[in-house]
Amino acid sequence: MISENSTFARGTWVLAQHFRKSRAARQTSYLYAGQIIGLGVGFALNLVNTRWLGPAGYGLYAATFAASDFVTMFLNFGFLPSGARLLALKQGAPEEQRRMTGALIVVTIGLVIGAALGLWGVSFFAEQLINARIGHLLRWFSLLLALLVLQTLVESACRGTGRIEALSFFNLSSKGVGVAFVGLAIVTGTYSLPVAIGASLAGSLLASVHVLNLLNPRFDKLSASVHELWLDVKHYGFKAYTGDIASSAGARTYSLILAHYGNVTALGYYTLAGLIVTPMTTFSRSLAMTFFSRFAVIRRIASKVWTVNLVWLISCFAGVLLLGSLFVHVMFGAKYSPAAGLLPLVAFAGIFSGLAAPMNKFLAAHGEGVYLRTIALTLSLISVAAAFGLIPRFGALGACYAAVVSALANFLLHLLYYRKTVEALQ
């Protein structure tokens, strides 16, 4: 028994040493460090928001962004997933990557205009749909909320080009600039709900513009680049887009259904629980994003990726069980204690979400748009059914139950189609 334990420990140590020395490990570390520091800065921002705005005000803050996310997810059309894939396939042609980045920027500007008009229109019906008085906020910030599409563009471009350091910088700077604006508002005595929303959006916009400039896009031969992008959208991107809509619609309806059947305060508790658990799944997404360009040319996910990911997720889940409730009480106070009761379920769902992340990027890198669409459509039906079946009865706790059901289904579906793809590649 002692010998077996020693062998296991030695094997784990060797795996850790190999992973630590690899380029992928360094890039994952950069990305995760940037995301975690960004999350830390964002957490400080949310700490200010929760204390200054109160549960009801923070609920309106969360509802505004939830409604914006729900609208803007329909205005992708598959261009950004296709762009990331084409950039990954052009690893040996940096000038072509720059031209494709320029084409993506031009297309995204059109998407932003459409999103702004969509948000303006939806604002007149928002209060009736989700039982939250956010219509005026959606109208005031329609253009800035639409510009959040640039975040997806930055992620897609950095993922496809392998510029992980630039993506790390974006994750940090977007939150840092927002905190600076909030600090200025507090000092000048002008802090309020609209200012909190505006500060967050301004930070994201400035960081997006800076990182896109770092990618040094080119706008010559624009017609040819857009045509190439359009062809891939028809082959892969639109399938991924329809799948993303179905998947995202299912997941994001939790917030909207919870606001409708419960109240914005319950939505604030649920949002806060998700925010606290975010670092857990962020590492898995960072790991998958780092390997995206490699996934395009390999036939299976390496065992070390599975092992590192699983060990991380289990460790985080144990940490949430042991320290989650104490963390909420210390950082946010007793008035947010209902959020502490949601943490174990949200973290349990996070295990399956994190395990599915590398498989999702593997399927995307190989252009398996049909598989991704099938996964998303199936998952959306499960998510919506779980949401309507559990949230009206159990409120925020029901949203957590639904999240667990959806995350488990998501993992099993990705595993099924990952195995099919690996068999086909062999």
For 402-415, what is each residue's pLDDT tens digit? Answer: 889 989 999 999 99
| Average of per-residue pLDDT across 234-255 | 69
The one-character DSSP state at 336 is G
What pLDDT is stored for residue 259 in this prediction? 67
Q: Where are the domains of the chain?
A: 11-425
For position 14, what pLDDT does the model report? 47
pLDDT for residue 2 is more than 60: no
Question: What pLDDT is stored for residue 132 in this prediction?
Answer: 64
Per-residue confidence at 82, pLDDT binned at 50, 70, 90? confident
In the prediction, which pLDDT does 251 show?
A: 59
pTM above the 0.75 mark?
Answer: no
Which tokens hold the place of 209? Answer: 């513009």
Show contacts of 110-116: CB within 8 Å, 24+ apart: 111/75, 111/76, 111/77, 111/79, 111/149, 112/143, 112/146, 112/147, 112/149, 112/150, 113/146, 114/75, 114/146, 115/71, 115/72, 115/75, 115/145, 115/146, 115/149, 116/142, 116/143, 116/145, 116/146
Q: DSSP letters of 157-197?
A: HHHHHT-HHHHHHHHHHHHHHHHHHHHHHHHTT---HHHHH
Mean pLDDT value across residues 71-91 = 79
Distance linking the first and last C-alpha atoms of the chain: 37
